[in-house]
Structure 1
Amino acid sequence: MNQQQYHPWLFKLALATAIATLPLMIVGGHVTTEGYGMAFPDWPTSDGQNMLTYSWLDRAADKFYEHGHRLLGMLVGFLSIALVIVAFKVEQKKWIKSVCIAVLVCVIIQGILGGTRVTENSKALAMAHGLFGACVFTLMAFLAMVTGKRWIEIGNDPPELPVGPRGLPYGYGLRLAIYVPLVVLFQYFLGGFLRHFQKGLHPHMSFAFVVLIFVIIEFRSARKSEIKWLKRPAMGMLHISIFQILLGFGAWITKYGLPAAGFVATAGSWEQSIFRTAHLITGILFLMTATLYSIRVFRLSWLNKYINAQSEQTLSATDSLPNSEGNA
């Protein structure tokens, strides 16, 4: 197995691309929350002007935030291009180069989705734009993880996974690593449907507790492994899921009110905007964390199988050597 080398500039650029995407998503979430998505009827121009020369700092809130969102998208696009250039200069692993190219392609697709949402004035495309954006951010976070030192160190000296009831490494933890990101993604889809079409409130609220149960089970599975590389993100995932439910409750109260407590919701209030946008961003971070945790599980499983296979080959080769006493 060819060992991966650490390239600090590639890692830093991958991390910077993911970090730069956070304000892009926050502003994009605020745009959706406040209904600013159609502040401009055109794209890629803004009010018929070049996006880079358009004077936007003194504009009304809708144009200010929407144009800021577009400029942040351009910044992420430039960082993605630089990422590919640096990867092809320093990285030897073809699959990492492929991931860098995938990030750039996905950023381009995401930009086209956002622009087409404007030109078509489509809520369905707005929802697809948000859902795909969460997946693109997760891909960026994955790239930052696999170019980091810890990923390489784990590959060189992987901790041993406990053996499950069927003799497979990690037992049911592997199955959970498949199910949990899928249920989180489905919950994010339900949230997007509610956000854009104002339908599906009860399924979204009910399924949140189903997701929480899955996360608790996976957290317990990670604790049994006694591996810090798994236990820490599993703990983070549990905390995020609980915080996300609390944010969802806050978004519900600020939108629909709580008559029993005498609280009346005010449409367009700053509390409503903060809770709804924070709920959206935390959902994206939740999806990212669940996915990266699952990738870690499968990586450790593969490394353990590889090491075991190498050990068996070594033992077989040793057993096949002639016995010195028998040939004396």
Structure 2
Amino acid sequence: MNNSPDIPTPWIHRVAVLTTALALLPIFLGAMTTTANAGMAFPNWPNSDEYTMFSYPWLGLIQDMGTNKENYDKFLEHGHRLAGVVIGIAAIVLAGLCWTKRTTSTLTWLGTGVLLAVIGQGMIGGFRVLERMPELAMLHGLFASIVFALMAITATVASSRWSNQEAMLSANSVKGAKIASTFLLFYLLIQYALGGIIRHPMTGMRAPIHEHLGLGILSIVVVGIVSFFEFRSNSSWLKRGMGMVLGLIVLQVLIGLVTYAMKFGVPSMGIVAVAESAGQVISRTAHMITGVLVIGATAVLTIRTYRVGYVKKYSELAVLSQSAAK
């Protein structure tokens, strides 16, 4: 194992990847909870009814879950809370490794940031229950994508590829790619926020359905422009990242169209909207989870692009400095 202060240890990368993967569990259960309108299954937090987090007879709800809506809601909500505990433990381990192993200061602070973000996300979810505020539910969903992106970035910075500067020097200029990928990231966050408003309707506010749908379709054009700059960089690292983003966005748009059809129906195609049908539940949940993956993949692409630009810039400055010294 390489314990150089300039290179992350393999264990930090492994735990960062595991933490990012585990984060999909509370995200999935949270999406299911929102889809089922089960966010207020319990009136209290952090306890569930009169039970503590770990004493609640959670698995006992399974047998009546199919016929009892209240049990179904409580199964989802308490499962979401337990998944939050799991990701909290993973974040503690990750932060601990980042502080105790000899690694970069950037990675140390990223590990700390992940832990603080997970704690903050849990508190937002708790206050959403205690204050009964749909605005906090929307913020809870939006912040989930940011926390996931931060975890994915940490895993990227902890990878051996991040430290392999020689492979980055052969890339072309990434100035345009940096601007384009940054714009795409903020574009997707706005799009995700609009989706959150639709999923968490608030009194007196119109659901921005058409805006969300229009920006979703337009995102294909935006990602096409970003692809042009990223592929022009001639970096395999950036090309792979761009390919992941492109595939996820196309998938997200397709799932979004299915979600729209399931929610509102398409009479000309014989599709009738049925409230809380399996089609609605599956499509809405898949749309939300894929949205998180899109933001995470775009955040990783953006940080990779900036890394390549940083390495090339300081390599060129080093060459100029050496030339001037001669």
Report the TM-score when normalising by structure 2: 0.92
Structure 1: distance between partners of 2:120 and 2:79: 19
Structure 2 counterpart of 1:286: 294
Equivalence map 1:1-328=2 (5 Å): 4-59=6-61, 60-153=71-164, 155-162=165-172, 169-197=173-201, 199-318=207-326
How much does 1:156 deviate? 4.8
Give the 3 Å change call, closer, same or farther, for CA 258–216 of structure 1 in structure 2.
Answer: same
Q: Is the 8 A contact 1:37 1:118 kept in 2?
A: yes
Q: Is the 8 A contact 2:230 2:242 kept in 1?
A: yes
How much does 1:54 deviate? 0.8
Structure 2: distance between partners of 1:235 and 1:92: 30
How much does 1:13 deviate? 1.1
How much does 1:178 deviate? 1.9
Residue 161 of structure 1 aligns with an amino acid whose one-letter code is A
CA offset digits 1:93-151 (Å, max 9, x no partner): 22211111111111111000001001111110000000011100100011111111111
Secondary structure, counterpart of 1:172 in structure 2: helix
CA offset digits 1:214-245 (Å, max 9, x no partner): 10011121222221101111111111111111
Structure 2: distance between partners of 1:106 and 1:119: 20
Q: Is the 8 A contact 1:233 1:293 kept in 2?
A: yes
Q: Is the 8 A contact 2:156 2:162 kept in 1?
A: yes
Structure 1: distance between partners of 2:169 and 2:325: 25
Structure 2: distance between partners of 1:107 and 1:196: 21
How much does 1:51 deviate? 0.7
Structure 2: distance between partners of 1:84 and 1:309: 34
Report the TM-score when normalising by structure 1: 0.91
Residue 33 of structure 1 aligns with an amino acid whose one-letter code is T
RMSD: 1.4
Residue 177 of structure 1 aligns with an amino acid whose one-letter code is S
Structure 2: distance between partners of 1:227 and 1:156: 12
| Equivalent residue pairs, number | 310
Residue 190 of structure 2 aligns with an amino acid whose one-letter code is F
CA offset digits 1:35-70 (Å, max 9, x no partner): 010000000000021111111112211111110110
